[in-house]
A = this chain, B = another copy of it.
């Protein structure tokens, strides 16, 4: 056991333009640090009810089974799969990046079979391929797909995919980790049956919570299970008894009290701004950033019509020292951008403009920092031109 001398940790103040976590507002950090109360305190229980209502607004749903799982997005994903699936079930899983692959892992570990529908990294999910898979697998229980692929920056057509699932009598399982709060998402209107998200992307809350929502059809599927859910911690029937309305709470686990204060505040900020206004803000800042990126002579992995405004996958020339550049951005500008994941490693950056971090000053900072750092590496990039291009979008 260690003899090391330890001190309090004082993190640097970064600009978080990676794939998440995004910058957390001082309002949310202040809420986070309020005094801890008991998880059965009447004041806290009232706040939990408000969190549910605010989440319903963010997801655009009236689903009663809407709540934040007390763990990160990966646990939210697992919550959806282990509750809906039973051994022997078959699920059609769309993969066009890292997170479709992770869905597959969840299907398999639930004792079910995954039928994969694959598209290229940087491409949206192909509706025709999905329809073929649905018609060839009449016994499939669910169609699972990622709305906003964090590994590539691609938006898939969740509305049409959910409609296809419904047409073939399948449940739709939708990963909205990076979409919630950043682009249009209307889970009731679109008929999404089971969705999960994360707190630390476009909600700009601290990482560690995973909002989920289940339609009545999905909830009924859970009630009709023949086998118990393999996870005790993620069993929604137990979690729901804990999050149930009014005074009746069955103890399940100790809620992460302070993180829920923060989520409440982040959702309140989203409601105060308005959901559609938040989507428009993400779109505008992306447009300005994209204009600047192109002025720098760089290009995007994803075609404009499928691009996520909150996650920009920017390709860079082979001559660029990727890790070196990111180190300089961090050290000299306190600016974090994300590395490419999987096949995009060493070929692209993932630059997030998510939630609270999606603002003009971050757009201009990032363009300037990229331009000067690339210039320092001998690439003839022009910061002034990039800033002018971005400014012209804001002025329009």
Contact = CB atoms under 8 A, between A and B. Distances in A.
Contact of A109 (B75, B232, B271): B232
B1 A254 contact: no
Nearest to A78: B233
Given A1-B62, A35-B29, A62-B1, A256 B72 contact: yes
Interface string A7-36: 111111110101011011001011111111
Contacts of A31: 8-9
Interface string A362-385: 000000000000000000000000
Nearest to A198: B254
Contacts of A262: 258
Contacts of A37: 11-12, 14, 16, 336
A341 B268 CA distance: 35
Contacts of A30: 33
Contact of A39 (B21, B24, B32): B21
Interface residues of A, number: 88
Interface in A315-356: 330, 336, 341
Contacts of A50: 4, 6, 9
Nearest to A69: B71
B43 A11 contact: yes
A53 to B, nearest CB: 4
Contacts of A57: 1-2
A24 B9 contact: no
Given A206-B36, A259-B256, A6 B54 contact: yes
Nearest to A81: B232
A175 interface: no
Contacts of A168: none
Interface in A39-62: 39-44, 47, 50, 53-54, 56-57, 60-62
A79 B257 CA distance: 21
Given A30-B33, A74-B233, A43 B106 contact: no
Contacts of A233: 71-72, 74-75, 77-78
A123 interface: no
A139 B153 CA distance: 52
A100 interface: no
Interface in A238-285: 251-259, 261-262, 264-265, 268, 271
Contacts of A71: 70-72, 75, 233
A353 to B, nearest CB: 15
B253 A73 contact: yes
Given A11-B261, A106-B232, A207-B254, A330 B53 contact: no
Contacts of A7: 268
A200 interface: yes
Contacts of A29: 33-36, 258
Contacts of A261: 9, 11
A208 interface: yes
A271 B6 contact: yes
A41 B14 contact: yes
Contact of A11 (B20, B27, B44, B251): B44
Interface of A: 1-2, 4, 6-14, 16, 18, 20-21, 23-24, 27, 29-44, 47, 50, 53-54, 56-57, 60-62, 70-75, 77-78, 82, 102, 105-106, 108-110, 198, 200, 206-208, 228-233, 251-259, 261-262, 264-265, 268, 271, 330, 336, 341
Q: Which 4 A-B pairs have the closest CB atoms?
A: A208-B256, A33-B33, A71-B71, A74-B253
14 contacts: A4-B50, A7-B268, A9-B261, A9-B265, A11-B37, A14-B35, A24-B35, A29-B34, A29-B35, A32-B258, A70-B72, A72-B254, A74-B232, A258-B262
